[in-house]
Structure 1
Amino acid sequence: MAITKPKSATTKKVVSAFPARRSEPVPMRLFIRDLVLSARIGVHQHERVANQRIRLNLELEVEADGPINDELENTVCYGELMTGIRHVVGNGHVNLVETLCERIADMCFADRRVLNAKVRIEKLDVFPEALSVGIEVERRRPGH
């Protein structure tokens, strides 16, 4: 005896939650929030001889080369960014917070996928009546 499909049965179309590919690359935002480090920074004599606490926030606009495919090498690695930031901050005395912001932004642009960098650095222990003082810079890769 042969089994036949009833005439009232309909074929269902399955829509995947995971599209086969993106139509065009979409910039992503990568961020590091509230990273507190010890830095040699400042123009005053007492700032030249003692480290002080800074808080760093970083936001990058990143364009993927293609599909991420769940592979680390297809991303901008925030672990590598953390290592780079620690190196820049720990690389000797800097007079100005602005200079440190620029150096960190420059470090981020070493990866060609970074289109935009926003760096915010706050000195945490400057004035007892203020939680922090600081600078935020935003830089865009030329041509983007």
Structure 2
Amino acid sequence: MAEYTTILDDLDVSMRLGIHPHEQVPQRVRLSVEMTVAYPAPVSQDSIDQVLDYDFVREGVRQLASGPGFALQETLVEAVAALCLSDPRVTAVRVRSMKLDVYPDAKVSCAITRRRPAATSTDTWV
């Protein structure tokens, strides 16, 4: 087995995110995603068919951003993590969101790491 880390870094989107009245209009949010991707063997062919195409993550995040929005960064990063883990080759994902303009003197972030549950054996040893 071969593991690679595929990173989509600093993707800026405009979306509704927050609980305050001034956050009911779209604001700038930056997302970074690191996925641990497992393949049966090291990649030996220079072909996108051999690896995870990270376009699905970028497009999925953009689709989430264009929806009704999220009250909490925590639910946003959970949704992005679930999107990434929908590809069975992704064994772990770290997602970070950052509200860039919520305060004039600071940015506010939330980050999580999620791992695919380990397969459980159904074999019975006698």
Q: TM-score range by the shorter chain?
A: 0.7 to 0.9
1:64 aligns with 2:6: no
Q: Which moved more, 1:59-68 or 1:82-91?
A: 59-68
Alignment partner of 1:45 is 2:45: no
Separation in structure 1 between the aligned mates of residue 54 and residue 111 of structure 2, nearest angstrom: 20
- The answer for the alignment partner of 1:95 in structure 2 is 71
Larger proportion of strand: 2
Matches within 5 A, 1:1-144: 25-48=1-24, 50-68=25-43, 69-130=45-106, 132-143=107-118
Once the two structures are superposed, what CA deviation does each residue of 1:6-33 show, in whole Å capped at 9, x if it has no partner? xxxxxxxxxxxxxxxxxxx221000011
Unaligned runs of 5+ in 2: 120-126
In structure 2, how many angstroms separate the alpha carbons of the residues matched to 1:58 and 1:124? Answer: 17
C-alpha separation in 2, matches of 1:70 and 1:82: 22
Opposite residue 14 of structure 2, the aligned amino acid is S
Give the unaligned 5+ runs of structure 1.
1-24
Q: Could you state the TM-score of these two structures normalised by the residue count of structure 1?
A: 0.77
Structure 2 counterpart of 1:62, one-letter code: V
- Cα distance, 1:65 vs. partner? 3.3
Give me the identity figure in percent.
36
State the structure with bigger RCO (CA 8 A, min sep 6), 1 or 2: 2
Q: Is residue 2–residue 42 contact of structure 2 (8 Å, CA) maintained in 1?
A: no
Conserved? CA contact 1:101–1:120, under 8 Å: yes
Which protein shows a greater Rg? 1
After TM superposition, the score normalised by the length of structure 2 is 0.87
Aligned AA for 2:32? Answer: N
In the alignment, is the contact (CA less than 8 A) between 1:89 and 1:100 conserved in 2? no
RMSD of the alignment, in Å? Answer: 1.3
Partner SS, residue 49 of structure 2 = helix
- Identify the range of structure 1 (113-122 vs 38-47) with the bigger mean alpha-carbon deviation: 38-47
Give, in angstroms, the shift of residue 67 of structure 1: 4.8
Whether the aligned pair in 2 keeps the contact of 1:53 and 1:123 (CA below 8 Å) is yes
